[in-house]
């Protein structure tokens, strides 16, 4: 249904391409710059038993089970970021990542670090959560198949 809306209101495809660009760049940056960096720290902790700075940052926020929360944040950034790039369960993944960025904003504010980057990511993710995956996403493809199956027509291949 969302796919049909984009087609009728966006004949030139600007909104669809913009949605793809925002989703892809935001997701790729979170995965490559933040998620992989955190995952490398966690992997080093597992292999060499060296301190993981993220655990110390989470502990400084007085959250329970800092190691668990560090892994949850890392997995959300890697997995949800990648799923946003391909546009699968886009709204759910963007909401999870936006919440994680909300925690990062609080962490930055409490430690005196600059929260601007986390705020920018949160704004991008909130926008993606509101607009969804767009025409060029797995979500749109699934919606198209469900619509075709419901109407009794076969989807052209």
For 101-145, the pLDDT digits (tens) are 999 999 999 999 999 999 999 999 999 999 999 999 999 999 988
DSSP E strands, the chain: none
Do the Cβ atoms of 29 and 71 come closer than 8 Å? no
Range of the domain at 34: 15-150
Buried b (16+ CB within 10 A) or exposed e, 136-155: bbebbbebbeeeeeeeeeee
Q: With 90 as the cut, is the pLDDT of residue 11 above it? A: no
Within-domain flag for 109: yes
Within-domain flag for 119: yes
d(CA 132, CA 110): 32
Within-domain flag for 4: no
* Both structure tokens of 5: 């809306």
Three-state SS at 39: helix
- Average pLDDT over the chain reads 90
Q: With 90 as the cut, is the pLDDT of residue 15 above it? A: no
Give the DSSP letter of residue 49: -
pLDDT of residue 8: 58
Q: With 60 as the cut, is the pLDDT of residue 10 above it? A: yes
Within-domain flag for 55: yes
**pTM score, two decimals?**
0.84
pLDDT of residue 4: 53
pLDDT of residue 153: 59
User: C-alpha distances in angstroms, 81 versus 77, 93, 155?
Assistant: 5, 7, 29
Work out the angle between the directed axes of helices 53-60 and 90-111 (0-180°, nearest 10): 70
Within-domain flag for 8: no
pLDDT 10s digits, 60-70: 999 999 999 99
pLDDT of residue 1: 47
pLDDT of residue 149: 73
Total domains in the fold of the chain: 1
Do the Cβ atoms of 157 and 144 come closer than 8 Å? no
Q: Dihedral through CA 44, CA 47, CA 50, CA 54, nearest 10?
A: 40
Within-domain flag for 82: yes
Within-domain flag for 155: no
pLDDT 10s digits, 63-95: 999 999 999 999 999 999 999 999 999 999 999
Q: With 70 as the cut, is the pLDDT of residue 16 above it? A: yes
Do the Cβ atoms of 75 and 69 come closer than 8 Å? no
Within-domain flag for 29: yes
pLDDT of residue 148: 76
Mean pLDDT of 21-37: 95
């Amino acid at each position: 249904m969302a796919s049909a809306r984009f087609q009728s209101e966006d004949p030139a495809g600007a909104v669809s391409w913009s949605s793809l660009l925002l989703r892809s760049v935001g997701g790729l940056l979170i995965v490559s710059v933040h998620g992989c960096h955190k995952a490398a720290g966690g992997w080093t902790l597992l292999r060499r038993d060296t301190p993981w700075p993220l655990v110390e940052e989470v502990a400084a926020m007085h959250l329970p089970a800092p190691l668990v929360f560090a892994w949850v944040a890392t997995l959300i950034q890697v997995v949800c970021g990648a799923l946003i790039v391909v546009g699968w369960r886009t709204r759910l993944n963007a909401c999870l990542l936006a919440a994680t960025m909300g925690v990062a904003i609080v962490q930055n504010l409490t430690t005196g670090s600059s929260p601007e980057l986390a705020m920018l990511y949160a704004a991008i993710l909130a926008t993606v959560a509101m607009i969804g995956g767009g025409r060029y996403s797995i979500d749109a493809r699934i919606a198209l198949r469900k619509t075709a199956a419901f109407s009794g027509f076969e989807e052209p291949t």
